[in-house]
Structure 1
Amino acid sequence: MSERIELKQYQAVRTTESDKSDLNNYKMNREKGQNWRQFLVGVISNLSSITVGLCLGWTSAAESKMKNASESPLSIFPTVEEFSWISSLLPLGALVGPYIAGPLADIIGRKWTLLSSSLFFILSFILLILTCNIPQIFVARLLQGLGVGFVMTVQTMYIGEIASDECRGALGSFMQLGIVIGILYVYCVGPFVSFVAYQYICLIVPIVFVITFFLMPDTPQFYISKNRDAEAIKSLRFLRGKSAEGVQKEFDLIKKSVAESLKNKGSIRDLFSNKGNIKALIISSGLLTFQQLSGINVVLFYCQSIFEKAGSSLEPAVATIIVGAVMVFASGCTPLVVERLGRKLILLFSAAGMSISLGLLGAFFFLDDQKNPIVESIKWLPIVSLIAFVFVYCVGFGPLPWAVSGEVFSPEIKSNASSIATSICWIFGFIVTKWFALLSAEIGSYGAFWLFTALCIIAFIFTMTTVIETKGLSLQQIQDRLNGRR
């Protein structure tokens, strides 16, 4: 408020042409703006992330319904092999999606590519409402995967380009928060409604996203790349809550950056043309790979069945809801601390915590497999271990690999690099999800969870030795650091 009064007083006494120039300089250098605007856009854009969460958590309740003759829409029960495909077709679709979404984001814009992801989600839930056979469910899950691939590729680009330097880390964490809200949503309603009602409830979210996000602007970088400078300034004014003069300096910097990136438009081969690009790809792909190798998709897809198999003392559906609520709480913490503690420290904490919690979960299943009498007195351990796992995952390795991925790539290679990194992520997501049941049968549930424990330890070492800290750095400063420049 005092800033506005000061500005009005300044305007009242400055009337000459030179003073008008001073006023413009005043606005350019002193106008504070309104950061809540970019947070509003971030929240609305992440309704698409909530839809991703719906799809990731969908199988937890749907599996038990399809096994129940009174609730299943199918005439026959799916086999174990068919269930593995129902779970793993989503990562397979998400593997393909980025190669469509990346180029499309450069052609029609980040906004319209994100909006188009909802077509896959809406069509998939309509198919599930009408389903009467397993192949139809396969198609629906593959469509959901394509939508997930679109969102995961373009959402990081959109947020990275609308956010100011001081808000980029917090806004980048919103994707994971949206995903876990979607997971909690299906955990809460899935076990307690019919199969068809379950699909209708899921269908609401992508429809609301389309209606609200349609009103939001595209990124200034996209508008400038298409020589639509007036729209770029309008977008910046909306996002920053400033006058045209107030955003002029940022507009000039973005325009220069975009001009350089268009001049040096990168191909996939350019990803390997210099040390900075290679290091960015290693960091992004490595973090996203370890995100999947932590076993998170196994926990999300089979959460209810894990509790059932463990013979938990708590009702499996209730335990699953508790896990979902913890995920939301943990993901909500990240935007509050990421700019204070930095990405790297939180990632190290996350990897260490996942290692310990998965190790304990594996120990429980080992004791249970050995028929050890102590199992009866530690029925609480699977709940505590999974709650601890999802907490540390959602604080660190859930949101931050996507946030870092949106920061480390230079503009000229960002769309190609994001597509490759996201695809690598979902290749491992497909492998883990498709063959977890077979792996558990071969080496036991305890062996599978101990394998995830070892991979989380490797993730800790990778983060410690390879990942750079991006807290408080501009996108150009990040590129300088990756390339070894001061």
Structure 2
Amino acid sequence: MTVLPSNFRVYVSVLIGHFGLGISFFCLSWSSPILAKLDGTDDNPLGRKLSSIESSIIASLPNVGGLLGSFFFGFIARKFGRRIAMISIGIPTLVAYPLLAVTTNIWEIYIARLLCGLTFGGFLTVDIMYFAEVSESSNRSVLGTAMMFFQSIAGVILLIIGPATTYFEFHVIFSVFSPVYLILAYLFLSESPFYLVQKDYKKAEDCLKKLRGTNIVQDELDDIKRSLENNSQAHLREMFESRALTKGLLIGCGLTIFQQLNGLTVVTTYCQEIFDEVEGGVPSHIAPILFSSILFLPSFAAPVLIQKLGIRIPLLASCIGIFISEFIFGSYFIMKDLGVTVSSLSWLPLCSILVFGISNSLGFCPIALAIVGEIFPMNYKEIATSVCATLFNTFAFLAVLTFPYLRDFFGVGIVFWIYGGLTVVCTCFSYVFVVETKGKTLNQIIKELDT
């Protein structure tokens, strides 16, 4: 007979939240199979091909919605509680995918993509805040890096289903996920004890007892209350008055920005179009499936690896792997543009982009997503996650919007060399600024940031 751990409710709540986050990431991989349909006429509800400007707008609109969703649902979480916010975040996609299924004009697609972005930005802000508040120091790193698992499996599912279904069938299938999430969240999602301490101390105590599976929670409750009292009037400007908070914000913002500047969102969005330019090799519609699969498979190992080694070693190793793979990937296209015969090297772009995916999923992505939840006091965590989510969506929007123009001007090879060069800068940044969080309490982390 299997006996559940006493704190199993922590895992249930956090993993349901991460499931919602995974659903929200559908909007990033969506472009790869669906833009290919909209660029043709056989399976196109618009009855015409998209212009290049329309394609760029459709691909980048979720990041605009993400900016709005980050602030709006962050406000809901602060005003009405994390549980209410986490449930309400699923509502925009409840509307968006059915709308995409029946659309016949470009403006309905724009609206639906914007709604998908609201959910994406909301989860990116609130889920990071939520998991950090309900988890324990012993499992926080593992639960944080599990976000990458759900992000990756979402991409795999979408890219397998996309080429195998019609436009209408695809969106009918993906209309099912949001109702499933909303039901699970309504039934099983716990409120954050940090929110409840501010509203009803007895409810906070009962909530924490259920989450921890023990009646001995007074010390943790006192820590929560003390943390909130010390930072009850937290504002962004106050973060710059503390060395530890300023350095923490630098780390969170830096990794968030570099996550977009290393090209991952571009590859996720335009993978099929990029591999259309490869001579020979796997079909271009298969490459995104392989890429998302290679993001997904190492995500099983990432939490264990980070639990064993901490965050610094996997992060630095990940950056080095990303740089090497992007340099090789870019070199293939540069040789092709220079007229070098590359037909015998058709395996090289796929192999290098798979190494790029492995490197991202084993270190950079899960750490960049989770670290903000580990290095800030609770009241400042709300501000920090909102700032980082804003930067994530801003730079993702710019990366996705500008890639087609950079590709046409410089060529794919030079663009990926630029991404590789920026990853070298990220490696240096990570080595100098990122602190180890493994096995440390928040107070220990803050003390190290303050040195």
TM-score, normalised to structure 1, is 0.89
Task: Check if 1:453 corresponds to 2:420.
Answer: yes
What is aligned with 1:217?
190
1:20-35 alignment runs, 5 A limit: 34-35=6-7
Gaps of 5+ in 2: none
Please tell me the residue identity of whatever aligns with 2:208.
L
CA 383–312 in structure 1, closer or farther in 2 if over 3 Å, else same: farther
What is aligned with 1:14?
none
Residue by residue over 1:258-290, the C-alpha shift from the partner in whole angstroms, topping out at 9 and shown as x without a partner, is: 23222xx11222121211111111000000000
Paired with 1:148 and 1:34, the residues of 2 have a C-alpha distance of 32
Paired with 1:376 and 1:46, the residues of 2 have a C-alpha distance of 42
Paired with 2:285 and 2:8, the residues of 1 have a C-alpha distance of 37
Q: Which of these residues, 113, 130, 148, is aligned with residue 158 of structure 1?
A: 130
What is aligned with 1:360?
328
**Displacement, 1:35?**
4.0
Paired with 1:325 and 1:36, the residues of 2 have a C-alpha distance of 28
Residue by residue over 1:42-80, the C-alpha shift from the partner in whole angstroms, topping out at 9 and shown as x without a partner, is: 221111112122111111110111122121111221101
- % identical aligned pairs: 30
Residue by residue over 1:321-360, the C-alpha shift from the partner in whole angstroms, topping out at 9 and shown as x without a partner, is: 2211111111221111112111111110111110000111
CA 312–178 in structure 1, closer or farther in 2 if over 3 Å, else same: farther
**Displacement, 1:456?**
0.6
Task: Check if 1:256 corresponds to 2:226.
Answer: yes
What is aligned with 2:337?
369
Q: Which of these residues, 270, 289, 296, is aligned with residue 328 of structure 1?
A: 296
What is aligned with 1:404?
371
**Displacement, 1:474?**
1.0
Name whichever of 315-324 and 153-162 sits farther off.
315-324
Q: Which of these residues, 270, 287, 290, is aligned with residue 238 of structure 2?
A: 270
**Displacement, 1:110?**
1.4
Q: Is the CA contact 1:103–1:415 (under 8 Å) kept in the aligned structure 2?
A: no
Q: Is the CA contact 1:118–1:147 (under 8 Å) kept in the aligned structure 2?
A: yes
Paired with 1:98 and 1:321, the residues of 2 have a C-alpha distance of 29
Q: Is the CA contact 1:327–1:391 (under 8 Å) kept in the aligned structure 2?
A: yes
Task: Check if 1:171 corresponds to 2:139.
Answer: no
* CA-based RMSD: 1.7
What is aligned with 1:96?
68
Paired with 1:168 and 1:99, the residues of 2 have a C-alpha distance of 24
**Displacement, 1:247?**
2.3
Task: Check if 1:201 corresponds to 2:173.
Answer: yes
Paired with 2:36 and 2:230, the residues of 1 have a C-alpha distance of 54
What is aligned with 1:289?
257
Q: Which of these residues, 343, 351, 368, is aligned with residue 311 of structure 2?
A: 343
Paired with 2:246 and 2:334, the residues of 1 have a C-alpha distance of 41
TM-score, normalised to structure 2, is 0.96
**Displacement, 1:312?**
4.1
What is aligned with 1:318?
286
Q: Is the CA contact 1:351–1:457 (under 8 Å) kept in the aligned structure 2?
A: yes
Paired with 2:8 and 2:132, the residues of 1 have a C-alpha distance of 16
Residue by residue over 1:95-116, the C-alpha shift from the partner in whole angstroms, topping out at 9 and shown as x without a partner, is: 2222222222111111211211
**Displacement, 1:192?**
0.6
Aligned partner of residue 468 in structure 1, secondary structure: coil
Paired with 1:117 and 1:320, the residues of 2 have a C-alpha distance of 28
Paired with 2:295 and 2:95, the residues of 1 have a C-alpha distance of 28
Paired with 1:156 and 1:331, the residues of 2 have a C-alpha distance of 17
1:37-52 alignment runs, 5 A limit: 37-52=9-24
**Displacement, 1:217?**
0.8
Paired with 1:320 and 1:338, the residues of 2 have a C-alpha distance of 27
1:58-137 alignment runs, 5 A limit: 58-137=30-109
Q: After TM superposition, where is structure 1 displaced by more than 6 Å over at least 4 residues in a row?
A: none
Task: Check if 1:140 corresponds to 2:112.
Answer: yes
Q: Which of these residues, 435, 441, 447, is aligned with residue 480 of structure 1?
A: 447
Paired with 1:200 and 1:302, the residues of 2 have a C-alpha distance of 23
Task: Check if 1:424 corresponds to 2:391.
Answer: yes
Q: How many residues align structurally?
A: 449
Please tell me the residue identity of whatever aligns with 1:66.
L
Aligned partner of residue 176 in structure 2, secondary structure: helix
Gaps of 5+ in 1: 5-31
**Displacement, 1:36?**
3.6
1:368-387 alignment runs, 5 A limit: 368-373=336-341, 375-387=342-354
Paired with 2:339 and 2:86, the residues of 1 have a C-alpha distance of 51
Paired with 2:351 and 2:6, the residues of 1 have a C-alpha distance of 41
**Displacement, 1:415?**
1.3
Paired with 1:218 and 1:311, the residues of 2 have a C-alpha distance of 53
Residue by residue over 1:75-102, the C-alpha shift from the partner in whole angstroms, topping out at 9 and shown as x without a partner, is: 2211011101111111122122222222
**Displacement, 1:210?**
0.6
